[in-house]
Structures are given as structure tokens and as C-alpha cells.
Amino acid sequence: MRARRARLSDAEAIHALIADYAAEGVLLPRTLENVREQIPSFLVVEEKRQITGCVCLENYGAGLAEIRSLAVRREIRGKGLGGKLVVFALLEARKKRIARVFAVTHTPEFFIRHGFAVSSRRAIPEKIERDCCTCPKARGCRLTAVIATVMPESVALPILDGIASPSLA
């Protein structure tokens, strides 16, 4: 078993994995064309030349990325492949100097085991603007946001207007 960046030739296998979970409502559906367009953002695990798992590390810019479309073939779930994909994605984020990585998930405990902390979806307005505003499930959404700080030294702090500097006198 080895983890690697996805290649265009992996697109159909990745699409099939995602479609299987999307049919249950566990993942958001993606078209084959979308997977092909996003292939540079996908990471895969393969065994015997067969894709057994995938994850997308979608860059939002400004030091933020999302882990999405995390899927492992059903018959081999529970063997740690999802965790390996998350760790691989976090390593890739670090290489790309991405400060924070988030996910919106049904299973926050899985991500917490991998260094994420539960957060409010309001902490990731980029996600709300990109996906949640058009999602038919937005009003009754039960997903939990989780965030990992990959490069604490690169996290940009907000500029606070109207707050006086402390006096050094």
C-alpha cells in the first residue's frame, strides 16, 4: 500500500469512490469532470495498482485549505487508511505552507484523533460562501466543522480596529 498524489488516470476510480458515499448522503456528490479538474488537489492510497482511498485537499488561499471527499473502499474500512490519508493531506498542507486545514464532517471524533479541534462553521466563512449557501441541506445541517493548525507560525491574526495599544508607562 502506498500513498501518492493523484494522476489524471485515477479520476474514474476516485469518482466511483466518492459517488458510492454521495449516494448515501455522506459526501457531497462530484461529477467526473469536477474530479478531473481538481485532480491536482487529490491524494490517493493504492494497493496492487488499485485505488483504495482518496482525499481532496482543496486550497482556499490565504493559508486555508479543506479536507473533503475522504473515501475508502467499503470492504477495507476500519484498517486505518482514512487516517493515513488525513495525515498525508496535513503533510501536503505543510509543504504548501498552508497554515490551517478544516473539514466539515459527520464524524468529528475521527478528525479529533488526528489533531483537529471542533469549531464553529462561522469560523470558516469561505466554506459557507463557497458551498453552504447553495446546499439544499443548509437549514438543517448537522455537520460539524473541525480545524487543524498545521503551521501555527503562519496563522494570520485579524486586525482589530478601534482597540488601543496597552500603555507601557
Q: DSSP string of 98-111?
A: --EEEEEES-HHHH
Q: In what order do the strands lie in the sheet with 42-47?
A: 2-5, 42-47, 50-61, 64-72, 100-105, 144-149, 117-119
Q: Is the pLDDT of residue 121 over 80?
A: no
Could you give the 3-state DSSP secondary structure of residue 57? Answer: strand
Could you give the 3-state DSSP secondary structure of residue 116? Answer: coil
Give the lowest-confidence range in 8-17, 75-84, 134-143: 134-143
Interval 12-43: pLDDT, tens? 999 999 999 999 988 889 999 999 999 999 99
Q: Using CB atoms within 10 A of its CB, is residue 126 exposed (0-12), middle (13-18) or buried (19+)?
A: middle
Residue 140, pLDDT score: 65
Give 159's pLDDT tier (boundaries 50, 70, 90): very low
CATH classification number, 2-74+81-154, choose in 3.40.50.300, 3.40.630.30, 3.30.470.20, 3.40.980.10:
3.40.630.30
Q: Considering the chain, what is the average pLDDT of its residues?
A: 85
Interval 79-96: pLDDT, tens? 899 999 999 999 999 999
For the beta carbon of residue 80, count every other beta carbon within 10 angstroms: 12
Residue of higher predicted confidence among 140 and 34: 34
Give 53's pLDDT tier (boundaries 50, 70, 90): very high
Give the integer Cα–Cα distance in Å for 93 and 63: 9
